[in-house]
Amino acid sequence: MSLFTLQLLSIDDLEWLRCLRNASRDNFFNTSEITPEQQSDWFRRIPYGDQRWVIWDRQTRCGYFSIERPKADLPIFPSDKPVWYLNSLLVDPAQRGRGVIQAAAAAFDPYLSYCGYVRKGNVASLRACEKLGLLDKGLYEHPVYGPIHIVWKD
């Protein structure tokens, strides 16, 4: 039986996360490969208050996600609650099918709303968002990324 836990991203997780992200890069808005130097720079620039989580099963890293301030160039729906951006849901391919992504729900605050953005055609990410209670609100035509799904949890 697995008991997933969440730990904030640390410098020791960076190479694992970089490899996982690069292996999944076709599903991201920016599909370029990330170098170790770029990953280190990104880590140093994480804004205060943004949450970067690693999902663990005992001593094994299983997945990653972040909860961040919404991006200015992406739409959000009106809400009575503050809105945060759920980003970069990643599960190690060896850990898929074990319920890893549902562990992310432990980080949700009931006093917040969450939005996310999924590339058109990324069915696996839409399913992962659905498992977390985020509903697909339809496609939005982004001027840079093209059509993207907006997912939402109130």
Tell me what pLDDT residue 75 has.
78
Tell me what pLDDT residue 1 has.
57
145 has a pLDDT exceeding 90: no
Query: Helix (H, G, I), strand (E, B), or coil: what is residue 154?
Result: coil
Compute the CA torsion angle 68, 74, 75, 81 (nearest 10 deg): 10
Give the model confidence (pLDDT) of 61-111 as tens digits: 999 999 998 877 777 777 889 999 999 999 999 999 999 989 999 999 999
Share of the chain above pLDDT 70, in %: 99
Share of the chain above pLDDT 90, in %: 76
Whole-structure pTM over 0.75, yes or no? yes
Q: How do the domains of the chain map onto residue ranges?
A: 4-153
Tell me what pLDDT residue 112 has.
93
Class of domain 4-153: alpha beta
Give the pair of three-digit tokens for residue 151. 């997912």
Say how far apart CA 152 and CA 94 lie, in whole Å. Answer: 28
